[in-house]
Amino acid sequence: ALVASQRAGIDLNWDTAQAIDLAGRDVLDAVRTSVYPKVIDCPDPKRTTGTLDAVAGDGIQLCARARVTVRTNIAQLIGGATEETVIARVGQGIVQAIGSTPSYKKVLENPDFISKIVLSQGLEGNTAYEIVSIDIADIDVGENIGARLMADQAEADMRVAQAKAEQLRADQT
């Protein structure tokens, strides 16, 4: 690992390599990922088969998957948060960005818009990785949550009106 880091021009001394190893991390893998960034899926397909679901401002649900390219940050590797934290933060950022968009159409027209918003949030703070890029791999339209909520509200209003009408009939007799 030390030889590979020297050849790659990465500043890694023996003490740092030992500390990385004692922290339970693979030193050679860390050096490789620092030189050749790796791609991680968000959400992690090993843990879930789902998507990142968010509702845009107009009530339309969007289901997204992203691919995050990361490079090891050797200086933060010891004590830095892991890949799972990066996945969680990016997922939260995507959901938040979609939720703050006024219309689902804007997201579908330009998915890179979401990537740029998430990248600008500096999510890699205190993690073992530097986020190189975030690419929206897939985005699908889900349910019309807004319409469903309006229909549920209309049904509730109708029940209240029926109850009041029955109360009036009962009072008149």
| 60 DSSP assignment | E
Render pLDDT for 112-165 as a digit per residue (tens, 0 to 9): 888 888 888 887 777 778 888 898 888 888 888 877 888 889 999 899 999 999
How much is the average pLDDT of 108-115?
88
Of the candidates 40, 31, 136, the residue with the CA atom closest to the CA atom of residue 88: 40
Are 43 and 18 in the same domain?
Answer: no
Amino acid at 72: T
Are 24 and 80 in the same domain?
Answer: no
Output 173 or 98, whichever has higher pLDDT. Answer: 98
Q: How far apart are CA 166 and CA 30, in angstroms?
A: 72
Number of folded domains that form the chain: 2
Note the pTM of the prediction, 2 decimals.
0.71
Q: Tell me, yes or no, whether 20 lies in a domain.
A: yes
Q: What is the pLDDT of residue 3?
A: 66
Are 23 and 50 in the same domain?
Answer: no
Q: Tell me, yes or no, whether 160 lies in a domain.
A: no
Encoded tokens for 20: 């990385």
Q: What is the pLDDT of residue 48?
A: 74
Are 3 and 61 in the same domain?
Answer: no
Are 76 and 42 in the same domain?
Answer: yes
Q: What is the pLDDT of residue 4?
A: 66
Q: What is the pLDDT of residue 20?
A: 73
Q: 50 in helix, strand or coil?
A: coil
How much is the average pLDDT of 33-62?
84
- The CATH number of whichever domain residue 108 belongs to comes to 3.30.479.30
Output 153 or 32, whichever has higher pLDDT. Answer: 153
Q: Tell me, yes or no, whether 128 lies in a domain.
A: yes
Are 68 and 27 in the same domain?
Answer: no
How much is the average pLDDT of 21-30?
76
Q: Tell me, yes or no, whether 102 lies in a domain.
A: yes
| 58 DSSP assignment | T
E strands, 96-157, are 129-144
Q: 93 in helix, strand or coil?
A: helix
Q: Tell me, yes or no, whether 155 lies in a domain.
A: no
Q: Tell me, yes or no, whether 149 lies in a domain.
A: no
Are 122 and 66 in the same domain?
Answer: yes
For the chain, what is the mean pLDDT?
A: 83
Render pLDDT for 7-19 as a digit per residue (tens, 0 to 9): 666 777 777 777 7
How much is the average pLDDT of 13-37?
77
Are 32 and 91 in the same domain?
Answer: no
- Neighbouring C-beta atoms of residue 76, cutoff 10 Å: 16
Are 136 and 111 in the same domain?
Answer: yes
- Dihedral sign for Cα atoms in the order 6, 127, 17, 39: negative
Render pLDDT for 78-99 as a digit per residue (tens, 0 to 9): 766 778 888 889 989 999 999 8
Domain that holds residue 19: 1-36
Are 80 and 31 in the same domain?
Answer: no
Output 89 or 24, whichever has higher pLDDT. Answer: 89
Instruction: Examine the pLDDT at 1 and tell me if it is beyond 70.
Output: no
Are 57 and 22 in the same domain?
Answer: no
E strands, the chain, are 38-42, 52-55, 60-72, 129-144
